[in-house]
């Protein structure tokens, strides 16, 4: 049902029909379908997206994709420094080592 609603509304609603600049910006970037889904599922909820979430997302990506040889490519792809790639990997290695040693 929701998918049908999204499809129909996406054909009718235009970005300019949205009530504020933030929603228009999101729709321009992610599509009107994303706004319809947000409205249908989270209407009335205040959503704040902290700036450090972006860093956490990039860090998670690095930790998942780093293979020991691709620091430069990851840094370029994520618009971060190679030093950040190595720091994050080193930090994770320390946590894993400590967990293995002390079982906590």
- Could you read off the pLDDT tens digit of each residue along the chain, which spans 104 residues? 778 888 898 899 999 999 999 999 999 999 999 999 999 999 999 989 999 999 999 999 999 999 999 999 999 999 999 999 999 999 988 888 777 777 65
**Residue 47 placed within a domain:** no
Q: How far apart are CA 84 and CA 98, in angstroms?
A: 21
Asked if 3 contacts 37 with a C-beta cutoff of 8 angstroms, the reply is no
Residues 90 and 72 in one domain: yes
Q: Which helix (H) or strand (E) holds 41?
A: helix 32-42
Q: What is the pLDDT of residue 103?
A: 66
Residues 38 and 10 in one domain: yes
Residue 12 lies in a domain: yes
Calpha distance 53→48 (Å, rounded):
11
Considering its fold, how many domains does the chain have in total?
Answer: 2
- The tokens of 95 are what? 């946590």
Task: Give this prediction's pTM.
Answer: 0.71
pLDDT for 73: 98
**Neighbouring C-beta atoms of residue 77, cutoff 10 Å:** 13
Would you say residue 97 lies in a domain? yes
CATH of the domain at 61: 1.10.10
Domain interval for residue 14: 2-42
Q: Do 33 and 62 belong to one domain? A: no
Query: 29 lies in a domain?
Result: yes
Residue-level pLDDT at 95: 82
Domain membership of residue 59 (yes or no) is yes
pLDDT value at residue 80: 97
Separation of alpha carbons 9 and 13, rounded Å: 6
């Amino acid at each position: 049902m929701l998918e049908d609603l999204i499809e129909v509304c996406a054909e009718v609603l235009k970005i300019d029909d949205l009530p504020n600049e933030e929603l228009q910006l999101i729709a321009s970037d992610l599509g009107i379908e994303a706004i319809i889904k947000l409205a249908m599922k989270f209407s009335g909820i205040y959503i704040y997206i902290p700036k450090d979430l972006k860093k956490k997302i990039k860090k998670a990506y690095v930790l998942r994709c780093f293979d020991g040889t691709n620091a430069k490519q990851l840094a370029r792809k994520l618009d971060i420094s190679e030093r950040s790639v190595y720091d994050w990997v080193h930090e994770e290695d320390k946590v894993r080592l400590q967990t293995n040693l002390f079982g906590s």
